Amino acid sequence: MSLALPLTLKAAVSRDCWSYRGTLGTSTTRFSSVMSGLTASQEPLPLSERLAHARAILGEVPLVDGHNDLAMTIRKVVNNQLAQFPFHQDLTKLEPWASQTSSHTDLPRLRKGHLGGQFWSAWVPNDSQYKNAVTQTLEQIDVIKRLVDRYPDDLQFVTTADGILEAHAKGKIASLIGVEGGHTIDSSLGVLRIFYNEGVRYLTLTHTSNTPWADSSVSESGDKGQHIEFDGLSAWGKVVVKEMNRLGMLVDISHVASQTMKDVLNVTRAPVIFSHSNARAIRNITRNVPDDILVRLRENGGVAMVNFFTAFLVDDLNTASIKSVVAHINHIRKVAGVDHVGIGSDFDGMHRPPKGLEDTSKYPDLFAELLLDPSWTDEDLKKLAGLNIIRAFREVEKVRDNLRGEAPWDQPIPQKEVQGRLQCVNAWPAKPPM
């Protein structure tokens, strides 16, 4: 039996969904009161009505995505020349963007997807380590900030948890910066602080290779001839985490080895995040999060933000679909708890999204899929969408405020840990210049 809503109710739902962004507890409350009469024996609502419900939820709270690699797409295709990047147009109809299999993002699709906040990734290749990683990363930070400035009616640069809510209330997409990979700081706490002052609000400690102070997930797997070097974090790596806590920068432990995850959780004084990672119990690769870490994440107060990258979802890539993403969300919810799961799509950082989540227009489809499961309440879905990461971000800010009297950590990395690797001189000689 199909349970279609009366036209008057559907009109009311649609009006509530679009008329005001940023007010909590209005349209979905009314929608849910009507739905509460459904029993488990009745057929699920049609997709169109579940999508209306999902859009209403995303109108009330910001959907905050933990990871999007658009900035690297811009660098790769037009060398960061924004005059050649028509973000306001449908890029699926424009070359060279239409031919880019990793191009999933433009303003029309973001608006259709009801995105409320985005951590834009400033990523540069791992082989820039010991070379020009800092310069390249600053260029990526610059292009993100210039992109936001170029589209002020749609994007708002924010650096705080409250800023996300303020942007959403204005109908804008809160735009934050996350730097992906500790190789970007050139083993310098000074560079880390510069990044923070430029607005960076998370650092992923490694990417697909070790830094001189932390082991990556690739070294754990042994791929590409890499191997564990530090059994997690080095002593100096632990200082990096402490300085991030002092600054109020989210510590992101996607991409790191399991022992690195454990070391971070032992050292950190604030909640951590996985900006784009999945459950290892479902897809057994070192890039994903083991259950014992998910249990500790609950104790830490952090958030695991689920990735849409096909290779991280399923063993047979041909089977990856929106249901695969739901399976990872549900597993993390079961082990870590509903307060510790979020969304970190990795759009523009992959070539093969799962079926049903092909680009940034499809976020409501994911929530519509979750609405098939009556165990997901509206309040749960709001937490998944953005309230969890906003809460964790606020807690990181609170730790920063509590540590305001702590002096900056300023010890340099021991020279023996970078001996033979540096391509340039970054330390004073034995005798200072006269």
Residues with active-site annotation: 67, 69, 180, 207, 255, 276, 346
Residue 405, burial from CB neighbour count under 10 angstroms (0-12, 13-18, 19+): exposed
Question: Which DSSP string do the residues of 285-337 spell out, in sequence order?
Answer: STTSBPHHHHHHHHHHT-EEEEP--HHHH-SSGGG-BHHHHHHHHHHHHHHH-
Amino acid at 84: Q
Cα angle 301, 306, 308; round to 5: 170
Residue 245, burial from CB neighbour count under 10 angstroms (0-12, 13-18, 19+): buried
Question: Which DSSP string do the residues of 186-241 spell out, in sequence order?
Answer: TT-HHHHHHHHHTTEEEEES-SSS-BTTB-BHHHHHTGGG---SSSSB-HHHHHHH
* CA–CA distance, 210 with 237 (Å, rounded to integer): 11
| Contact criterion met (CB below 8 Å) for 69 and 346 | yes
Cα angle 32, 373, 6; round to 5: 40
Question: What are the tokens at 42?
Answer: 């009745």
% helix, strand, coil for the chain, step of 5: 45, 10, 40
